[in-house]
Structure 1
Amino acid sequence: MWSDRYNYYQIKSDIAYSKNIHPVAAINLFLQTGYFVKTKNNELKNASHFPWINVALVNSKNGNFNDKETDFLTINLIAIVCAKGQEIDQGIYLSPLMQIARALNWKLYLEEDDEGNTEIEF
């Protein structure tokens, strides 16, 4: 999805969503960075000193999910929405997101860039 105000990232094992993990493993990695706080069972947001970001840990069927269904025993997708704009350096988001993706042995993707390219892997 493309927006002039938001970037949509995903952390997942591959484009087929082929691996599942327990959500607590991912939540702990996010919390350890110091940039995130838990808000609901499988949701996190930015800590007060970090720019706006929202994270949902979901069990997806081909990338589709209902954001009301957040209490899963396993997840295969971490969906991330963050602020975008000229004044926002995306590197501030990419650094912890890449760290988390590597720790899970998963990959970080940008859903769509400003030129219409999709599934951009970092």
Structure 2
Amino acid sequence: MWSHLYWYYEIRANGTYSERLLTKEVLTILGNTGKLRPIGNQQFCNIENAPWMSVIAVNSHNGTYGRDQDFNSEWVNLIAIVGSKSNPENERFYVSMLTDIAEKINWELILEEDDNENENIILRGKSL
């Protein structure tokens, strides 16, 4: 998805969302970034004075989510992130933090679409 207002990122094991991690483990990693605070079931936002972002850890069905059970699951196969484009410097902040999260769980970090209509750009690949 592309927007002139937001960056859309995904942290996932692969494009088929076929690998899962225990929700508790993922939430611990997100909570330990020092840059996010929990705001609901499997949902986080930025801490004060950090660039605006919304982060959700869900048990997705082929990359889609939105049902209550997606946010109350034992497993996570997708971390979806929305970040503001209001300040171009935000992108560096997001990519740095999200790369760190992706490395900790050995999943890939994806930019859903760039300004040139390229889709699913791998910013950090999964290690073997």
TM-score, reference length from structure 2: 0.89
Task: Give the CA RMSD over aligned residues.
Answer: 1.3
8 Å Cα contact 1:23-1:72 kept in structure 2: yes
Unaligned residue ranges in structure 2 (runs of 5+): 124-128
Displacement of 1:85 in angstroms is 3.8
CA–CA distance in structure 2, aligned partners of residues 48 and 19 of structure 1? 33
> 1:41-90: CA deviations, max 9, x gaps?
10000000211000011111111111644111101000000101454330
8 Å Cα contact 2:111-2:120 kept in structure 1: yes
2:15 is aligned to: 15
Identity of aligned residues (%): 35
Counterparts of residues 65-84 of structure 1 (less than 5 Å): 65-66=65-66, 68=68, 69-84=70-85
Counterparts of residues 10-89 of structure 1 (less than 5 Å): 10-66=10-66, 68=68, 69-89=70-90
Unaligned residue ranges in structure 1 (runs of 5+): none
CA–CA distance in structure 2, aligned partners of residues 8 and 67 of structure 1? 20
8 Å Cα contact 1:35-1:49 kept in structure 2: no
* One-letter amino acid of the structure 2 residue matched with residue 51 of structure 1: P
TM-score, reference length from structure 1: 0.94
